[in-house]
């Protein structure tokens, strides 16, 4: 597991940054889309609420390998977090994710991503593994 730095946690915690999830479709092609509910769960994990339970959800159920890019376009800073996702359809993590959403948005699941590596998306280090 990679231990997230305070700089990473701070960037993920900002509401105005882009948070994009990449999963693997059954044919091996990438599926990319926003997951703005993404937040830091602990020193080694990110989490998000799965509200629509469509392509990303089905992909993660079949293949838990994911990447999440978090980018501050204005600040030209970001990170790519790579790891394995765990789906929680009930329990403590599910309740936490549900509580973070407006009441009318009942999530289908909560997803924890155990981060195994981190790449920079900033400046001259862009693309380099940093953890």
Mean pLDDT of 86-110: 96
- Over residues 17-37, the pLDDT tens digits come to 999 999 999 999 999 999 999
Distance (Å, whole) CA 94 – CA 19: 20
The answer, yes or no, to whether residue 1 has pLDDT greater than 90, is no
Q: What is the pLDDT of residue 103?
A: 87
For 36-68, write each residue's pLDDT tens digit.
Answer: 999 999 999 999 999 999 999 999 999 999 999
Distance (Å, rounded) from C-alpha 127 to C-alpha 75?
17
SS3 category, 58: helix
Can you tell me the mean pLDDT for 64-83? Answer: 97
Residue in the block written with tokens 């959403």: 101
Nearest to 30, CA basis, from 52, 63, 1: 63
Q: Is the pLDDT of residue 117 over 90?
A: yes
Mean pLDDT, the chain, whole residue set: 96
In words, the CATH class of domain 6-125 is mainly beta
* Residue 96 near residue 39, CB atoms below 8 Å: no
Residues 42, 112 contacting (CB under 8 angstroms): no
């Amino acid at each position: 597991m990679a231990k997230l730095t305070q700089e990473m946690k701070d960037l993920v915690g900002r509401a105005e940054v882009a948070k994009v999830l990449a999963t693997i479709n059954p044919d091996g092609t990438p599926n990319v889309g926003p997951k703005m509910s993404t937040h830091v769960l602990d020193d080694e994990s990110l989490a998000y609420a799965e509200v629509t339970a469509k392509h990303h959800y089905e992909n993660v159920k079949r293949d838990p390998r994911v990447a999440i890019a978090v980018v501050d376009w204005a600040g030209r800073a970001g990170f790519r977090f790579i790891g394995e996702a765990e789906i929680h359809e009930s329990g403590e993590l599910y309740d936490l994710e549900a509580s973070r959403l407006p009441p009318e948005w009942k999530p289908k699941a909560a997803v924890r991503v155990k981060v195994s590596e981190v790449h920079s998306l900033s400046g001259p280090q862009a693309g380099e593994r940093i953890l």
